[in-house]
Amino acid sequence: MGSKRNEFDHFRSVFSREYFSKPSTENAGRIPAKSDVERSMTRVLIVEDNHRMAEAIRRGLVEQDFLTEVANDGAEGCSLALKGGFDAIVLDIMLPVQDGLAICRSIREGGILTPILLLTALGSTVDKVKGLNCGADDYLTKPFEFDELIARLRALTRRVHSTIARRISYGALELDLYSREAIHGDRRQLLSNKEFSLLEFFMNNADKELSRSILCDRVWDMPFESESNVVDVYVKTLRKKIESLRLPPLIHTLRGIGYVFGMQLERKPNAG
73 near 95, Cβ under 8 Å? yes
Closest to 162 (Cα-Cα) out of 82, 87, 244: 87
Half-sphere exposure of residue 4: CA atoms within 13 angstroms, side-chain side: 13
3 pLDDT exceeds 80?
no
Q: What is the pLDDT of residue 82?
A: 87
Give one DSSP letter per residue of the chain, joined into a string: -HHHHHHHHHHHHHS-GGGGSS---TT-SSPPPP-HHHHTSPEEEEE-S-HHHHHHHHHHHHHTT-EEEEESSHHHHHHHHHH---SEEEEESS-SSS-HHHHHHHHHHTT----EEEEES--SHHHHHHHHHTT-SEEEESS--HHHHHHHHHHHHHHHHHH--SEEEETTEEEETTTTEEEETTEEEE--HHHHHHHHHHHHTTTS-EEHHHHIIIII-S---TT--HHHHHHHHHHHHHHHTT----EEEETTTEEEESS--TT-TTB-
Is 167-261 the same fold as 2-163? no
pLDDT tens digits for 5-44?
454 444 444 444 333 333 334 444 443 444 444 445 789 9
Sheet architecture: strand order including 88-92:
67-71, 43-47, 88-92, 116-120, 138-141
As a whole number, the mean pLDDT across the chain is 80
Fold (CATH) for 2-163? Rossmann fold (3.40.50)
Structural domain boundaries of the chain?
Answer: 2-163, 167-261
241 pLDDT exceeds 70?
yes
CATH architecture of 167-261: Orthogonal Bundle (1.10)
pLDDT tens digits for 190-199?
988 889 889 9
Identity of residue 147: D
